[in-house]
Amino acid sequence: MRSLLIGGARSGKSSLAARWALERSAEVCVLVTGTATDEEMAARIAVHRDARPQHWRVREEPVRLGHALSQEASRKQLVLVDCLTLWISNCLWPIAALPGTDHALWSGERALFLEALRTCSDIIVVSNEVGSGIVPESPVARLFRDEQGRLNQAVAALCDEVFLVSAGLALRLKG
């Protein structure tokens, strides 16, 4: 079963995904994409880490998520990806910081991830919905929003079930 949980920031996606992973499998590998770039982010990561069952295997993959997923998909386990939004940011940041660069890093990583997702039989993916607000002011923010929306559509198309999460509640959109 391939599942996508999508919603706004602090909507309860990660908590719900962890609860569902615990219910679905005894063997779980969590692919985390966040990096502790400052104290506030380090504190957020610590909260997520402390909430996970100790026996889960955690693999940090801020950029090479597709490669990691292709390795983990071959094992008899559930894979929990948390989250696509930070991963996109990690991939796009070098592009945004260097005007005139192409999208080779992001395009390649995106393609690898989607191919690996096709082969994964038991996965829960967490992603943010960022397109419901105002149009971002800067080109970098618009690029991020657009790429997030495109990726969410591609992932949703490959998943068996998709849920919109708000206030910790899941509304089934697909499956």
Q: Name the one residue in this structure whose structure tokens are 């569902």.
A: 20
**Nearest 5°: phi and psi at 116?**
-65, -40
Torsion of CA 80, 62, 164, 136, to 10 degrees: 180
Phi-psi group of 39: left, alpha or beta (phi > 0 → left; psi -120 to 50 → alpha; rest → beta): alpha
48 is catalytic: yes
Query: What is the end-to-end Cα distance of the chain in Å, rounded?
Result: 10
Distance (Å, whole) CA 13 – CA 19: 10
Of 48, 55, 67, 103, the active-site residue reads 48
Beta strand 169-174 with 161-166 is: antiparallel
Other CB atoms within 10 Å distance of the CB of residue 72: 21
**Nearest 5°: phi and psi at 67?**
-60, -45
Q: Which residues are catalytic?
A: 48
